A and B are shown apart, each in its own frame.
Chain A
Amino acid sequence: MEQLHLVEQLLDKAKKDASLYYIGLFFKDKELLSKTSSRSEHLSTKFGRLIERSLELNDIIPKFKEEFLFSEGKDYSLFVYYLNESLSIGMIHLGKPNFSLLKITAHDLYTKLSGFIPLLSELYNQKYPEHVETSETGKDKDMFKDDVFASKYPEEFQPDSVAELEVVLKTEKNPSVEKSVQQDAGIPSVEEPKSLETSLQSIDVPSLEEVLKGGSEEAVRSLDSSEKAPSDVYEESPDIEEGLITDKDFNKILEMVKLEFLKAIGPFGAFLFKKKKEEFFTGNSATKFEILKFINLLSEEINTPQRKQEFIDNAKSYLLNM
């Protein structure tokens, strides 16, 4: 609530600074928040439709990528500043048009809003849940490619220990996990990754890579116990550096993870996913372990526990099938 209040304050400030008649945040044609002097209930709806129509230029002209829309008359101006392919700031000014002021105001607001994207995503999901549901069923083909939903993955390759791995990967300390890891002879804490890997390489157990590739049934069965402590997952994956996924496969798996993330968090997920990906990955390759960590990082953005778990399960299933 406090964050929402902050966003509203930002809109208020922009409205006052540029003497705006109307300022609104839109997701496609849907108004999320606004500040206005208007008494008309229809203004935001009509403005939203104009914005949505303008976004179709991306389909007509390849790689068009809207930056702004502007229209002026003698005593009004309309300005839309596109934050990305879905999110935009709409502004209406009455009086002598001043394009420069509108553009500077919009850009300034954009830089301040960049930290509030997850909040806006949540707001969209709350205000328009029917649109989120449509996306999740995969019926809205404009939002999602449908070939991924047609793919099936074998049910047997969903070991519970993957969920346990997630517990270990969480950044906040889990005393019980640390204790069980440290109690094991010679295995250092998870905060010392290099020495951890060295220790693990000396342990003779089926590697995580073998399990993830669906190598032996025994290997899968050996992990298929929800009572195993998270430390066992580390023991069974000595060759963490192997299983490097590069280029085409890397992009493919990330694309699938992204789609699952969008299903869980809504259309805003695209922006958030891109940001997290750029922060997490430096190049065009990663180990499966790193991708698992990335999946866990994304899952922290999902507030609903059920959706969070579904996302983790589905995203990791794609990784298991690589």
Chain B
Amino acid sequence: MAAKYYEILENLVRDSGAEGAVLVSVDGLAIASFLPQGIDEDRVAAMGAAILSLGERVTAELNKGQLEQLYIKGSTGYVIFTGVKDVAVLGVLAPPNAKLGLLLMEIQRAIKKLENELG
């Protein structure tokens, strides 16, 4: 099972030009990851779960339902967190020159595959 998740993440990174990806439970625990060296998997995992959860609290205040995706741009690239149903969060790291449109498309493809696997 873990190998399947890893394969999906690896394909996502390869096909989209991303730098890394991590699949996280809603509790902030890593399920699978394909991250560059020097990045703390546990911290990214915890942060991904927390930030989507906090974002959802804001949208709840606005009566706008679930927050599905959020991305942050920094000088070294993008970090994109996307909800996978209600059970997991997909985090993707991408370089600053990444084609965001392509990246978001590939993320949606990966999400569908992950949703099938997670059941």
Contact = CB atoms under 8 A, between A and B. Distances in A.
Contacts of B74: 57, 61, 64-67
Interface string A25-68: 00000000000001010110011011001101101111111111
Nearest to B73: A67
Interface residues of A toward B: which range?
A: 20 to 34
Most buried by A among B38, B47, B58: B58
A271 interface: no
Given A64-B75, A73-B65, A76-B64, A49 B54 contact: yes
A59 B42 CA distance: 13
A64 B74 CA distance: 5
Contact of B40 (A46, A47, A60, A67): A60
A75 B64 contact: yes
Contacts of B44: 60
Interface in B44-100: 44, 47, 50-51, 54-55, 57-59, 61-62, 64-76, 79, 93
A92 interface: yes
B75 A63 contact: yes
Contacts of B76: 61-65
B43 interface: yes
B3 interface: no
A60 B67 contact: no
Interface residues of B toward A: which range?
A: 20 to 34
A69 B74 CA distance: 9
A69 B71 contact: yes
A71 B51 CA distance: 11
Contacts of A67: 73-75
Contacts of A56: 43, 47
Contacts of A59: 43
Given A66-B73, A68-B72, A73-B64, A61 B58 contact: no
A21 interface: yes
B93 A46 contact: no
A91 to B, nearest CB: 12
B2 interface: no
B75 A43 contact: no
A94 B51 contact: no
Most buried by B among A47, A66, A69, A75: A69
B72 to A, nearest CB: 5
B39 A65 contact: no
A75 B65 CA distance: 10
A171 B62 CA distance: 52
A73 B75 contact: no
Contacts of A149: none
Nearest to B66: A73
B45 to A, nearest CB: 10
A84 to B, nearest CB: 12
Given A54-B72, A62-B38, A71-B71, A46 B51 contact: no
A87 to B, nearest CB: 16
Interface of B: 38-40, 43-44, 47, 50-51, 54-55, 57-59, 61-62, 64-76, 79, 93
Interface of A: 21, 38, 40, 42-43, 46-47, 49-50, 53-54, 56-57, 59-73, 75-76, 78, 92, 94
24 contacts: A38-B62, A43-B61, A46-B58, A50-B54, A53-B50, A53-B54, A57-B72, A57-B74, A57-B79, A60-B43, A61-B74, A61-B76, A61-B93, A64-B75, A66-B73, A68-B72, A69-B72, A73-B67, A73-B68, A76-B59, A78-B59, A92-B58, A92-B62, A94-B64
The 9 closest A-B pairs by CB, nearest first: A71-B70, A64-B74, A65-B75, A50-B54, A46-B57, A76-B64, A69-B72, A60-B43, A67-B73
